[in-house]
Amino acid sequence: MKEFKGKVAVITGAASGIGRGIAERCVSEGMRVVLADIDDANLAKAESELKALGETVLGVRTDVSKRSDVELLARQTLDAFGQVHLLVNNAGVGAGGSPWEATWNDWEWVIGVNLWGVIHGVKVFTPLMLSQNVECHIVNTASAAGLVVGGSSAPYSVTKHAVVTLSESLYLTLQRRSALVKVSVLCPGLVRTNIANCEDRRPADLKNEAVEISPEMRAGLAAFKKFIEVSMTPSQVADMVFEAIKNEQFYILTHPEWIEVIQMRTDNLLRMEDPRDPALTVMKLIQSAKA
């Protein structure tokens, strides 16, 4: 898909971060945009600000972990615009630690948003896009964490690996059918988003009981937030996403320096060696990005 003006985009997690950056780029391309997010206040703000730029924008409150919400999102999109050409399954959260220390609530919340959210988007929208018989594109947001040995959050890493695999399966199936619907998987490194504050959006029934946070964990979170503040901007990511859509490029690696860490995992696998902790290499990459 190389022409965007007048076409319809649906973006989840669109009220902030990467989703908001992509939405802004869609508006600048003259697209009609549907913003989906669970954050009512930021969703209303994004809708108002993007409408002020002169394009048609519709905000739809959506909990992507619920199939019924995504089905309603599709219906409202079709009711408003009659079609959809670009779907960005972008909503995501992070929580939990090691596989056994992450709580049941952590696992359920992260899998619900990060994985089921993408599954729901793919299952609901792909048939609609195929039926239109015009050029369309689906972008699934994974992470560089979906291509390397698991990090400090097992639920996050598990879901991001799964999104990469889901996207690969979707790509190959559509390719075999010579479909006009194309696919990309977005695997960013650190980007200036609100993911460090995503606990504010955790549903009440999945909140953890209050626990005392150790000084080490508190210091680690503070350092992460500082790294985020100086990392790549969402608008930079959006530029890369649109370039990939135009070129029908599947893998979108926003931070090529992460290839070193990806290669480490691949080499270990091919040599049938035990996994190596990528933490030191990742920290070096983060420090270089900060500089």
Q: Which residues carry out catalysis?
A: 156
Best CA proximity match to 191, nearest among 151, 220, 234: 234
User: Is the Cβ–Cβ distance between 184 and 250 less than 8 Å?
Assistant: yes
Best CA proximity match to 103, nearest among 208, 201, 205: 208
Helix (H, G, I), strand (E, B) or coil at 255: coil
For 276, counting Cβ atoms within 10 Å of its Cβ (0-12 exposed, 13-18 middle, 19+ buried), the class is middle
* CB environment 57-80: b (16+ within 10 A), e (fewer): bbbbbbbbbeeebbebbbebbeee
Residue 185 φ then ψ, to 5°: -120, 125
**DSSP states along 114-134:** IIIHHHHHHHHHHHHHHHHTS
CA-to-CA separations, 55 to 29, 34, 83, 259, in angstroms, rounded: 10, 11, 17, 38
In the numeric block, which tokens belong to residue 107?
A: 């696992």
Query: What stretches of 6-85 adopt beta strand conformation (E)?
Result: 8-12, 32-37, 57-61
What distance in Å separates the CA atoms of residue 223 and residue 79, rounded to the nearest whole number? 45
User: Is the Cβ–Cβ distance between 289 and 190 less than 8 Å?
Assistant: yes
